[in-house]
Amino acid sequence: MRDLPHFGPDFTWGVSTASYQIEGAVDEDGRGRSVWDEFSHTPGRILNGDTGDVACDHYHRYREDVALMADLGVDAYRFSIAWPRIQPDGVTVEPRGLDFYDRLVDTLLEHGIEPSATLFHWDSPLALEAGGGWENRDIADRFAEYARIVGERLSDRVTRWFTLNETVVFTLLGHATGIHAPGKELGFGALQVAWHQLLAHGRSVQALRAAGAQQVGPANNHCEVLPIEDTPEHRDAAGLFDLIYNRAFLDPILRGTWPLAGIVDPVAQDGDLELISQPIDFLGVNSYNPQYVAAAEPGAEIPFEMVTPEGLEYNDFGWPIIPEGFTRMLTGLKDTYGDALPPILITENGGAFNETPGEDGRVRDQRRIDYTAAHLGALHDAIDAGVDVRGYFHWSFMDNFEWAEGYSQRFGLTYVDYETQQRIPKDSFAWYRSVIDAQRDR
């Protein structure tokens, strides 16, 4: 394991979570149902029939969790706001939902932790699905109104705002393949959903700035895309996947262009790209591993396949561990977008390593330490290569509801016993704290 270089005195060290994955309390204080409530209660959708009804009970235990973050020593905490807590029916405002995030933000500030809020991490109000949900262009206006409400309440204390989280994953898994909520299988038609999310991003940037937000940007998922073999067919398949996965969610924001023109064109209106390409202050990048792609069999509806080659090291989720791919992804963004690329924050990076407490109660998750150390080293290599990266938020602060995989995969620095809700800081927690302390001592 390499020694970590210095990231500088202004580098931000943080952790991330998401509302549906940790909060629980799904029917308290006026919260409406989300698409994930509906999806997780549909038989066969989630491994072991798990739901986020209780999750980590963070809604009731946030003070305990924030105290643990303070012990960890992070500068900032990236959390998401549950839209159905704020507008249970997608329209009406629920004051008790705003009150909860008021309390959370104030508690963070009391502990010297910078609140970094994400407006949307996939838990749409179920009521909006009756009107088509994200297939309906009108949702961009609904989202802008939600952004205004939250921004006016919190932007006096929350300076860093993320608009939407991982539009690509919400599009592909939620609307193209149906693996995630809301469970739609639209194939390439899901790119219309992507367009509406991009519009929602642009409108929410405007709304947040009008409400006084100081720093605004998206949190996108990006990865290095590699052909499984160096042949024309596999290279073409990888190239198309890269357009869909990476550039379709970034070109419109940074360049005001649609990279799939003539391949898959969304229904758009004049002025859409100008709206989507509102200036942003940073780009949040979530990244875990490269993606290998193969050409599909002739005649297949989708011309590429995501594959997992043999001979690599994998985490417990089956994702390959290739730190140098992290460097190449970041330098690739710099090479592609040049001066149009704003400063980057790594908003998610981590791995599923499912170690549990030993007889002494200690969680020895050395594999997570090794993974994170390697990726921090790879991150610094990208900085040395000229990429302007200003912060790192580890995913995740604690174990949580891992979407379609339920509670089977553990990403946290903190172990959660879901039966007792006991929090146990893992070895990686102590290691990450030592990293942050060492960086500040230099």
Active site residues: 166, 348
Locus of tokens 């069999």: 297
Q: Residue 79: which region, alpha, beta or left (left: phi > 0; alpha: psi -120 to 50)?
A: beta
| CB of 191 closer than 8 Å to CB of 184 | no
Identify each DSSP E strand in 235-287 by its residue range.
283-286
Distance CA 228, CA 356 (A): 34
* Residue 121 annotated in ligand binding: yes
Distance CA 439, CA 8 (A): 7
Distance CA 326, CA 349 (A): 10
Distance CA 323, CA 229 (A): 20
The DSSP-derived string for 130-150 is TTTGGGSTTHHHHHHHHHHHH
Position 295: which residue type? A
| CB of 154 closer than 8 Å to CB of 117 | yes
* Residue 431 annotated in ligand binding: no
Distance CA 3, CA 376 (A): 10
Whole-angstrom CA distances from 93 to 118, 215, 365 are 18, 25, 43
* Residue 288 annotated in ligand binding: yes
Tokens representing 133 are 């949900």
- Paired residues of 283 in beta bridges: 344
Is the link from the previous residue into 428 a cis peptide, with omega within 30 of 0?
A: no
* Residue 402 annotated in ligand binding: yes
Distance CA 151, CA 102 (A): 11
- Eight-state DSSP code of residue 411: -
* Residue 192 annotated in ligand binding: no
- Eight-state DSSP code of residue 41: T
* Residue 395 annotated in ligand binding: yes
Locus of tokens 């798990």: 50
* Residue 58 annotated in ligand binding: no
Q: Which residues, 6+ apart, have CB-to-CB distance to 39 below 8 Å?
A: 45, 46, 180, 181, 182, 183
**291-295, strands of its sheet edge to edge:** 225-227, 291-295, 304-307
What are the binding residues for substrate?
Answer: 21, 121, 165, 288, 395, 402-403
What are the binding residues?
Answer: 21, 121, 165, 288, 395, 402-403
